[in-house]
């Protein structure tokens, strides 16, 4: 079984953590598509979030990882996309539940409030946790807006 394809992106506040996570994922054998930013220079996170979210919606990547200072901006932006379920995680239990109960396909990390080893563990848990389905399927289906 091949490892899932991962899309990763951030703003300037998440750049250092993104680079660490990207390196760790690549070392573990994951194919990682980096959507930027590529420096510490101040940027507008939606410019990086929308292309990443579109790649997950189109199934070009199986999961996304988004990072900004608080994780709120990237999560709000990603969740504008109908096919995205972006969840903010600050510990492994939240990361696990986002997958188990909400079938999240994007994890959003608050770079200013977590340490790199904790982020690495949250991503590992997120990527290795399956959606439970069952009663949660009905709830996830109700998240969609009807056109």
Distance CA 97, CA 54 (A): 24
Catalytic annotation, pick one of 12, 50, 101, 136: 101
What is the pLDDT, as a whole number, of residue 145? 78
| SS (HEC) of the chain | CCCCEEEEEECHHHHHHHHHHHHHHHHCCCEEEECCCCCCCCCCCHHHHHHHHHHHHCCCCCEEEEEECCCHHHHHHHCCCCCCCEEECCCHHHHHHHHHHHCCCEEEEECCCCCHHHHHHHHHHHHHCCCCCCHHHHHHHCCCCCC
Contact 104, 122 (CB under 8 A): no
pLDDT tens for 102-113 read 999 999 999 999
Q: Is 10 a catalytic residue?
A: no
Q: Residues of the chain whose pLDDT is less than 50? A: none
Q: How would you label 35-58 residue by residue, b for 16+ Cβ within 10 Å and e otherwise?
A: bbbeeeeebebbebbbebbbbbbe
Tell me the domains of the chain and their CATH numbers.
5-141 (3.40.1400.10)
What is the pLDDT, as a whole number, of residue 132? 83
Contact 8, 34 (CB under 8 A): yes
Q: Is 68 a catalytic residue?
A: yes
pLDDT tens for 1-10 read 689 999 999 9
């Amino acid at each position: 079984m091949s490892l899932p394809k991962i899309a990763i992106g951030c703003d300037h506040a998440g750049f250092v953590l993104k680079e660490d996570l990207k390196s760790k994922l690549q070392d573990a054998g994951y194919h990682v598509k980096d959507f930027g930013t590529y420096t510490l220079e101040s940027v507008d996170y939606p410019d990086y979030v929308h292309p990443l979210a579109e790649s997950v919606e189109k199934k070009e990547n199986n999961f996304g990882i988004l990072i900004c200072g608080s994780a709120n901006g990237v999560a709000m932006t990603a969740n504008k996309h109908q096919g995205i379920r972006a969840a903010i995680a600050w510990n492994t239990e939240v990361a696990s539940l986002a997958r188990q109960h909400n079938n999240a396909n994007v994890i959003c990390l608050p770079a200013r409030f977590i340490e790199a080893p904790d982020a690495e563990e949250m991503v590992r848990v997120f990527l290795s946790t399956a959606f439970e389905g069952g009663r949660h399927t009905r709830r996830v289906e109700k998240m969609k807006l009807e056109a």
